């Protein structure tokens, strides 16, 4: 190990086997990055609560089960996204504690004890088609120990449904919003709450929606301050970001 | 004139000076469009209430006053858009009944008697920067005999201001909405009223607003049914369209 | 029910069981939106004539029949769009009064008495490929009690076919135009009539048509005033908008 | 006041002057939004720490001083952005405690006592041209009581400058990144820290940068999780968002 | 027939059964377009040499044979594009004189006598993938009686192949060029000849070719004067245009 | 001169001073292109009728007069485009036979005898703003000996004005069309005539016209066959192309 | 052959059978390009080391084997790209020395002796999905006799992995970088090395990646000098370019 | 200094003042990046031959002279780009050996001895407007000790001018190509030479050139292999890249 080779060098300096100049020369040509390697990876582990996410599309069931197994061995929580019920069946056959989240189309397996957050993340979606997007974000948050609450089917075309829940919404520490079509929901929510809003445009829509470009531009141009945007259909990313922000409010926050 | 030459031809048929075959041949080679020429122009006059709009930018004050004079002679109402106070000064010097609409930056001169509409058009704008756009639309409507009511500064970032006027809004026969930034206002208004909504995206904004592209896409993808869109910053066009729709409800409607 | 709980509170005030201060406190913390909930939904019902549209693609035949059934129970007119003949077969098996509109690919079932409109909506399309678009719009209008007339295959490349019907066209209260390729039809029609024109760009075309972008831009930039645009291929939306506008001219108009 | 009119109604119910049915009717037709009006605005005030930001471009010096005065009277902290030294001169003449932030081109005037945050926000910029952007964001954060630290001129073309500060960077509670050209800085920073990253693309660049589109797309597609994006050149918005997120970690956080 | 009803009217004028005023009134309300109807269609027939083109994709073999039959009956030359060998088999079974052009994937059936043009059209393509495009254009020209010559596989990456044929190229009356990838061939050819160049961008390419956008822009920005552009992959259109231009040089030209 | 050095070489072969092998070697290493150099340039001269066009913007009056002088000396016709009246004044001072075309903003000086074409080119424009574009094209054609006829202000919003001239239009050998806004004019004209149509989109318009992109796409997607497109605002190019095509019909055609 | 006909002509001059003038005339009308034909092709062969690449998709196995055979006969190295294992099976059956590169999905067959380069090309990729792209580039380089070294999975989200190899990276003569998502890797690598960087954006990504547009723009706007960009997914092109550049450093370099 | 503090630490280990464990702990927490800092910057200096380029637009003459002075003191060659003659006047007043390159609009001052390259870089431009772009690239190369040769005004519309120099072109070690309009020159040059081609699209053009987008796409889609692309108008970047590649062939190459 690296720390060991450093110790050997310093011992040599201490005993006079190596001169200071020689040690200096060797230290300066040491590939500097190796010093930080383990530490950074350690940070990564702390950061996510799970080292890697399994993106199921394009993988065989065998591959999914196999990767799943390796992540289980690693000891953290495990997340597989865009999983079909059949793929879950195979995973569940091998790991009986794996759980399927149908709306989110995710498989999770929790191995770390839950440290529930003191606040909650509101998960808001406009229409039925946006549901899988916001649900994957929600499952991600939960696996990262953040409590969540659902506010589904509260699109701006029927603004009263959203407003009837605005009080509950205002109590959230972070708000995630998934919306396709014109994506106006993020702006309206941004105007109702003082918490930061994580907006994820979805590719739901057609024609001049241009595969999610319309809600993306809408969200970027939001007249409400406090709205942050992630990539179109970036389900996991939205959840991860919301969870990282929410953690700031927990005692373990930095 | 054309009708006259037709009469001459028919008289020649009647008196035998021209055979039927010859008349037939001449009628068939007549440029058919001329038959409809006057009628169409007559339609145009009925349609607008004023035959032509003076777009002031790029014209000299002298040109504006001169064109204004010709339109006054034509006898209809006159509208000059994007006029500066100085340009109005010159017009007013020549035509003392000309009126300046400061917020709309329009000059109008009414010559036809007002036939006030039975319903009204709600003119809704999101922010102060959108005001000139909606005001030009509003002045256009008024000159076309349509009553209007203003709902200004009711952007979605402070949704309560809009909602506090939703009852009044619901009474409008037509609703015009001007919004820049992300343009979400059109969707929210579209969800509140049952009247048709004429949405005009404005180039107010910056960055990923791309000169009005963002609110344009937002409005085209509106999840609320009943929203019609016109070109970016099409102030006069939005007003003209709203008025033409509103007229359907008047007794003089087609 | 909400109105009931309000009555209970007021009764308590009346009988002295609750003080005015206590009632005041409870009223102020009442989620304000609930007050308006029913009313808005009622508005929605009035507005559409049918509460919800069934978009068939991506649904199983079983799901379509099931949702259809629920909407039938709700008592309004029912509309299912983009339906295949097979899907209609299943629906018709369950609801014998359901009707299939082949060109529009829609299933309708009328439960409300027809209140025929006093004016009619002209439905204009450029080419054979645009037919399904304009027909779905037309069926939507008819189900909303608006009379319609067809003007099919009158594209601008053979302008005489359009012009030969311009007289009839001028009698329409509203004109709907569906056109793909370059979408010039909307401008030409807009120059012929004084009624408002609802233009729906279609994705018919190829190459630099960019999936409907070309006719969309054409229609937005129309040199004819009075043209309103909806999203690419927004068939139902064009019909709904045209019907809402046309209703203004009926006695039942707002 | 509204609460008063409610009391009058309830008193009338209590005394029998108004029947419950009548009260019910009046309550149901009450514009529901007014109930929430003051509260929402109160929220707004809490949320920002200053009710409104003065955007100087396009305003006369007289206007700026005048608006500045009104905001000072309102009692909160005041922020004027994109201010020239001359404009500051005039403001300072009227309000001697106003401060000019040269790099940020902002004027601030603090009226509320500072409640310093327990964590800090790292403000990272790639090149000299991005400095005004990140500095406006930083001044905004400071005025919202969030401590900040500067990490300037640490673009990815000389990655060692960034890495030499990665330890300090990792201690931030939130990281703001402004970058133009290709905008790769956000991804690299996102890979180094576990705090949320607020990325603001700048319009610095030329050619295929397309006015900020290139860094915008870069940031949206970041392969590092935990990166949130705001509009191109959205200086104030990035600062506001960073501050709102950072506040979650303070004792006063929601 | 229309001409007949006109004759009846004129006869009535001649015999005094109808007054001139009445005839005048009726003539003016006559839908003017009908006068020109037949003539225009007649023009169409002259113009194309075949009234309609059969675009095979999306049609059943039965439909293709059936439409083909109707066009054969109409007496002109018949063209079916994008036809498979199987589809040709069926057509050939019914019409033994139908010919299949394999490279062009077209079926033709000539019924009109050939009136060979005095000049020829050079058909130039850059790569093998562009061959079907230029060949459909070529077959179209031939069916319109224009002689053609092939210049295939003369892309700019091996400029000598093109230059070795530049003498022959310069003798063409019109030049058609099909090129995908970067589409530079049109500019180079435009610099070599004095004949007009009809450039058709093809969707051959990948990545930043954006489905033909790259060669389209290249051709529109050609630094060589005399280059006209048609839509991406507009095979028939390029051929039709080239033939219409080439006909100007024939004795039968207008 | 090159031909001379070739003659020297051949003379040396003839007299035996150079062996055939040596001559062969020297001929093969000769830069092949020089052989064709003069001929190609000669072609250029024939092709245009004037070797070079002076684009005035960005040039000083002195430069313009100086370049003009050189082109006069070359003996061909001279064309200077986008010239101001002042620039013409200076040119006219030096060359009294120079002519200014006010609408086209061009200066011409004819030195070659006119060989009038047997057909004419119709020059069609939609609105007043498109006039300078079509006029520069027209002046270019005239200088290339092609007769032209003007059809101005015949936009599609008032289709009768265009149709009333359709007979004259049908007699043109080539039709040039300039249109901004939505550019629908090209399609309508394309449907009326059998001559080839050269369509030039203009940057006249605003908002979603995107600097001429809208009419460009419209023209490329024209549903009328026989429409060729040149770059946005390519005034000279449209004229040059129209003239080159029209020449095919003259006796001097290739 | 051509050289022969030249010799015949010169012999005729020498013997007086042909006059110098006649020879001169014939030489000047000789198609100049033929002189250079063979030479250019010879250049091509030298240039690539293999005359043609077989792009397998869309070809039958039979076609691939057949073309492969022809190229083998031509005597150079042979490369077939995007080959499936099955296609390799067939090729290998016919040519037992053919080699399959699984990660690159390429088949190669070396016939020319290896002349190993003195320097090496570093092949850097960001993620697993970019592997096939960089591997095809690498195989291309190897077949062109350039040594390569792999630096895989060193994306910027874990910058330490890249930095730990920066010393080795700095020793490369040329660096190839393939990256999808946001494509930031090219900039970071460009900042670490002094060798030229060939950046190939990949279409790996989703949403606002727009099929590779995001990394393409990133790479074009790189703030690090020395970065050259090729088309999205241009695997072979990147390898070919890197090899051509690297060859400059070999003794056989031009 | 860092190396010094390391020495102090090692001395302390050697003398026993610090234990090995303590030294180990301190070394591991050392910000690793500092170890590499100087070295990297040293690399930078070697790499460019000049540490920084002065971009003149937006700087005062005083600023330019001042920065110029600092770079002169640093001892390397100095380059200032986009400089006006007046700015050069001021620089020359202070540094009499500064040289102005009029066509390139650059100021250079050479302080390092020239080590002329063994090969040369061909600098090719299409039109007069592209001249400043290619000249800045050329001056950059020269300052980096690379010989260059000019091939100006050899656009593809007059291909013979380019071809007449193709022999000289083929002798270059690297070829730089600047072209606006449609940018086809890069493909044609790429087909003529076996050296790598650095293509820089210029914003020269109008209309559908979209500020250089057209030649950018053309160059990225080049059908000739061996073409590398840099950003639109990236003059210095193209020169720097060409020089870095060319250096590979010099004895001092890496």
pLDDT, tens only, H20-76: 877 776 665 443 333 333 233 333 333 334 446 888 988 899 999 998 998 888 778
* Residue C2: per-residue pLDDT: 43
Query: Minimal Cα distance from B232: which residue of F?
Result: F207
Sign of the torsion angle spanned by Cα atoms E242, E245, E248, E253: positive
Which one has a higher pLDDT value, H17 or G6?
H17
Asked whether the beta carbons of residue H241 and residue G225 sit closer than 8 angstroms, the reply is yes
Per-residue pLDDT tens digits for B87-108:
999 999 999 999 999 999 999 9
Q: CA-CA distances (angstroms) from residue F206 to B190, D178, F203?
A: 26, 32, 8
Contacts of C182 in chain F (CB under 8 A): 183-184, 187, 217-223
Is the Cβ pair E156, H223 closer than 8 Å?
Answer: yes
Query: G79 - beta bridge partners?
Result: G53, G108
Residue G226 to chain H, least CA–CA distance (Å): 5
Interface test with D, best of A188, A244, A247, A250 (most D CBs within 10 A): A244
A206 inside 8 A of chain C by CB: yes
Structural contact between residues G98 and G108, judged by C-beta atoms closer than 8 angstroms: yes
Share above pLDDT 90 across residues of chain A, in percent, rounded to a whole number: 52
For residue G194, the number of C-alpha atoms closer than 13 Å in the C-beta half-sphere is 19
Least CB–CB distance from G33: residue in E160, E206, E207: E160
Residue A46 CB neighbours (<10 A): 10
Find the mean pLDDT for residues G36-61. 56
- C2-15 vs C20-29: helix axis angle to the nearest 10? 160
User: What pLDDT is stored for residue B101 in this prediction?
Assistant: 97
Nearest to E231 among C160, C166, C208 (CB): C208
pLDDT value at position D4?
A: 57
* pLDDT for residue G31: 36
Residue with tokens 């009548």, as numbered in its chain: D22
Q: What is the pLDDT of residue H232?
A: 95
| pLDDT value of residue F127 | 81
Query: Which two tokens mark C218?
Result: 């054409």
Q: Give me the residues of chain C with pLDDT under 70, please.
A: 1-6, 25-52, 251-254
E45 falls in which pLDDT band (50, 70, 90)? Answer: very low
Instruction: Please answer yes or no on whether G164 and A33 come within 8 Å at the CB atom.
Output: yes
User: Which residues in chain G are contacts of E164 at CB distance < 8 A?
Assistant: 31, 33-34, 37
**Residues D104 and D135: beta-carbon distance below 8 Å:** yes
Contact by Cβ (8 Å): C215, B217: no
H226 DSSP 8-state letter: S
Reported confidence tier of residue E202, pLDDT bands at 50, 70, 90: very high
Exposure string of H231-249, with b = 16+ CB inside 10 Å and e = fewer, is: bbbbbbbbbbbbbbbbbbb
For residue D191, give the nearest of G159, G191, G215 by CB distance.
G159
Question: F181-196: per-residue pLDDT in tens?
Answer: 889 999 999 988 989 9
Of D201, D205, D200, the residue nearest D181 (C-alpha): D205
What pLDDT is stored for residue H25 in this prediction? 65
C163 chain-E contacts, CB cut-off 8 A: 31-33
- Residue F29: per-residue pLDDT: 44
For chain H, give the mean pLDDT: 84
Supply the pLDDT for residue C58: 83
Q: Please name the residue of chain F whose CA is at the shortest distance from the CA of residue B213.
A: F208
Q: Which of these ranges, D25-29, E196-200, F57-61, has the smallest mean pLDDT?
A: D25-29
Taking the CA of residue G216 as centre, how many other CA atoms within 13 Å lie in the half-sphere pointing to its CB? 30
B172 against A37, higher pLDDT: B172
C-alpha E55/C-alpha B45 separation (Å) is 44
**pLDDT at site G84:** 96
Distances (CA, A) of G163 to C95, D159, D162, F165: 69, 9, 13, 74
| Residue D5 pLDDT exceeds 80 | no
The pLDDT, as a whole number, for residue B25 is: 65
* Chain E residue at shortest CA distance from C163: E33
**DSSP structural state of residue D252:** T
To the nearest whole angstrom, how far is the Cα of G166 from the nearest Cα of chain E? 30
What is the average per-residue pLDDT within B191-198?
Answer: 92
Residues 6+ positions from G96 with CB-CB distance below 8 Å: none
The residue with greater pLDDT, A86 or F47, is A86
Sort out which chain H residues have CB atoms less than 8 A from D163's CB and list them. 32-33
Is D234–B207 a contact, with Cβ atoms under 8 angstroms apart? Answer: yes
E interface test, pick of G30, G33, G211 with most E CB neighbours within 10 Å: G33
- Helices (H) and strands (E) counted in chain A, each on its own, are 11, 9
Retrieve residue B36's tokens. 């409809």
| Of residues H160, H206, H209, nearest to F33 (C-beta) | H160
Q: D35 pLDDT exceeds 70?
A: no
Beta strand extents in chain C (DSSP E only): 53-55, 78-81, 99-101, 106-109, 120-125, 147-151, 174-179, 197-201, 227-229
Beta strands A174-179; A120-125: pairing state = parallel
Q: Which residues of chain C are within 8 Å of residue B220 when distances are taken between CB atoms? A: 216, 229-232
Q: Are residues D184 and G188, on separate chains, in Cβ contact within 8 Å?
A: yes
CA distance G226 to A150: 50
Chains D and E touch (3+ CB pairs under 8 A): no
Long-range contacts of D91-100 (CB under 8 A, 24+ apart): D91/D64, D91/D65, D94/D65, D94/D68, D94/D69, D95/D68, D95/D69, D98/D68
Average of per-residue pLDDT across A166-175 = 92
Phi, psi of D242 (to 5 degrees): -60, -40
Cβ distance of H163 and F213 shorter than 8 Å: no
The beta-carbon neighbor of H228 closest among G195, G232, G241 is G241
Interchain contact, C48 vs B248, CB within 8 Å: no
CA dihedral C14→C18→C24→C27, nearest 10 degrees, is -90
Binary contact (F233, H206; C-beta < 8 A): yes
CA-closest candidate to residue E4, choices E29, E28, E34, E33: E34
Global pTM reads: 0.84
Cα separation, H197 vs H191, whole angstroms: 10
pLDDT tens per residue, range G194-246: 899 999 999 988 888 889 999 999 999 998 889 999 999 999 999 999 999 99
Q: How confident is the model at residue G253 (pLDDT cuts 50, 70, 90)?
A: very low
When CB atoms are compared, the residue of G6, G13, G32 closest to F14 is: G13
Please list every residue in chain A whose beta carbon sits closer than 8 Å to the beta carbon of residue G127: none
Per-residue pLDDT tens for E180-195? 988 999 999 998 898 9
> D-chain residues within 8 Å CB-CB of G125?
none
Measure in Å the smallest separation between the Cα of A15 and chain D Cα atoms.
32
Query: With contact defined as beta carbons under 8 Å apart, do E245 and E198 qualify?
Result: yes
Q: Do residues E48 and E78 touch, judged by C-beta distance below 8 A?
A: no
- The Cα-based distances of D208 to F172, G148, H187, H234, H235 in angstroms read 44, 31, 20, 10, 14
Range name among D54-68, E53-67, G6-20, H218-232 with the lowest pLDDT average: G6-20
Q: Are E88 and E56 in contact (CB under 8 A)?
A: no
- Helix (H) and strand (E) counts in chain C: 11, 9
Q: Which of H186, H198, H252, H208 is nearest to H228 (CA)?
A: H198
Say yes or no to pLDDT of H214 above 90: yes
pLDDT at H212: 93
Q: Which of residues 166-185 of H touch E (CB under 8 A)?
A: 181-184
**Nearest residue of chain H to residue G220 (CA atoms):** H231
Q: Which of B34, B36, B212 lies closest to F207 in CB terms? A: B212
Which tops the pLDDT comparison, F125 or B157?
F125
Q: What is the C-alpha to C-alpha distance for residues E86 and E82, in angstroms, rounded to an integer?
A: 12
pLDDT at A238: 96
Which residues of A fall within a CB distance of 8 Å from H35?
27-28, 30, 32
User: Which pLDDT value is given to residue D26?
Assistant: 67
- C-alpha F95/C-alpha E158 separation (Å) is 47
Nearest C-alpha of chain F: how many angstroms from B34? Answer: 6
Residues within 8 A of F (CB atoms), H 80-99 only: none
Report yes or no: D62 at the H interface, CB cutoff 8 Å.
no
Residue F61 clears pLDDT 90, i.e. is over it: yes
Say what percent of chain E tops pLDDT 70: 85
Q: Do H153 and H127 meet the contact criterion of CB atoms below 8 Å apart?
A: yes
* pLDDT (tens digit per residue) in H164-187: 888 899 999 999 999 998 899 999
What is the number of other CB atoms lying within 10 angstroms of the CB of residue A42? 10
Window from A133-137, E238-242, G105-109, G178-182 with minimum mean pLDDT: G178-182
Q: Is the pLDDT of residue H205 over 60?
A: yes
Q: How far does chain E reach from its first CA to its final CA, in angstroms?
A: 30
**Which DSSP state fits E109?**
E
Choose, out of D192, D207, D214, the residue to mutate when testing the contact with H (most H CBs < 10 Å).
Answer: D207
pLDDT given at position B39: 33
What chains are in contact with F, requiring at least 3 Cβ pairs below 8 Å? Answer: B, C, E, G, H
Tokens of D46: 């809490």
Check: CB of residue C133 under 8 Å from CB of residue C186.
Answer: no
Nearest CB neighbour to C36, from listed A160, A166, A167: A160
Residues in chain H: 254
The band of F156, judged by pLDDT with boundaries at 50, 70 and 90, is confident
In this complex, the residue of A181, A187, A220 whose CB is nearest that of residue B223 is A181
- D91-126 burial, b for 16+ CB within 10 Å, e for fewer? bbeebeebebbeebbbbbbbeeeeeebebbbbbbbb
What is the per-residue pLDDT across C178-219, written as a single tens digit (0 to 9) for each? 999 889 999 999 988 989 999 999 998 888 888 999 999 999
Stronger pLDDT, F71 or B61, i.e. the higher one: B61
For the segment A204-248, what is each residue's pLDDT rounded down to a tens digit?
Answer: 888 888 899 999 999 999 988 899 999 999 999 999 999 999 999
Round to whole Å and give the CA distance between F236 and F48.
Answer: 12
The pair of three-digit structure tokens given for residue G51, joined into one six-digit string: 């005359």
Give how far E102 is from chain H: nearest CA, Å: 26
Residue in F197, F218, F225, F228 to test binding to C, most C beta-carbons within 10 Å: F218
How do residues A182-199 score in pLDDT, each as one tens digit? 899 999 999 889 899 999
E vs G: CB pairs below 8 A: 33
Q: What is the pLDDT of residue C249?
A: 92
- Is residue G179 within 8 Å of G185, Cβ to Cβ? yes
Q: Which of G166, G65, G49 is nearest to G110 (CA)?
A: G49
Paired with G122 in beta bridges are G149, G175
Nearest in space to A138 (alpha carbons), one of A126, A154, A152: A152
- Name the range with the highest mean pLDDT among C48-52, D27-31, H97-101, H155-159: H97-101
Question: In chain D, what percentage of residues exceed pLDDT 70?
Answer: 85
Q: How far apart are CA A195 and CA E156, in angstroms?
A: 59
Contact status of B40 with chain E (Cβ, < 8 Å): no
Question: Residue A187 pairs with which residues in a beta bridge?
Answer: none
Contact between residue H68 and residue H80 where contact means Cβ atoms under 8 Å apart = yes
Say yes or no: E233 contacts chain C, CB-CB below 8 A: yes
Which of B5, B14, B22 is the mutation pick for testing E, counting most E CBs within 10 A?
Answer: B14
Per-residue confidence band for E208, with pLDDT thresholds at 50, 70 and 90: confident
């Amino acid at each position: 190990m690296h720390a060991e080779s450093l110790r050997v060098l310093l011992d040599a300096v201490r005993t006079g086997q190596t001169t200071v100049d020689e040690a200096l020369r060797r230290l300066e040509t040491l590939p500097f990055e190796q010093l930080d390697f383990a530490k950074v990876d350690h940070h990564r582990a702390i950061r996510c609560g799970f080292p890697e996410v399994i993106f199921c599309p394009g993988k065989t069931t065998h591959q999914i089960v196999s990767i799943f197994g390796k992540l289980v061995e690693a000891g953290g929580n495990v997340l597989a996204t865009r999983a079909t019920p059949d793929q879950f069946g195979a995973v569940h056959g091998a790991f009986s504690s794996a759980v399927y989240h149908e709306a989110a189309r995710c498989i999770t397996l929790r191995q770390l004890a839950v440290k529930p957050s003191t606040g909650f993340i509101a998960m808001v979606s406009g229409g039925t088609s946006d549901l899988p997007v916001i649900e994957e974000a929600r499952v991600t948050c939960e696996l990262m120990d953040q409590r969540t609450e659902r506010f589904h089917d509260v699109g701006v075309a029927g603004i009263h449904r959203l407003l009837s829940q605005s009080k509950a919404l205002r109590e959230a520490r972070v708000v995630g919003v998934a919306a396709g079509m014109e994506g106006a929901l993020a702006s309206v929510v941004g105007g109702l709450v003082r918490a930061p809003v994580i907006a994820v445009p979805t590719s739901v829509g057609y024609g001049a929606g241009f595969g999610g470009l319309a809600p993306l531009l809408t969200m970027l141009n939001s007249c409400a301050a406090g709205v942050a945007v992630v990539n179109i259909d970036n389900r996991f990313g939205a959840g991860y970001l919301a969870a990282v922000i929410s953690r700031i409010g927990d005692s373990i926050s930095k």
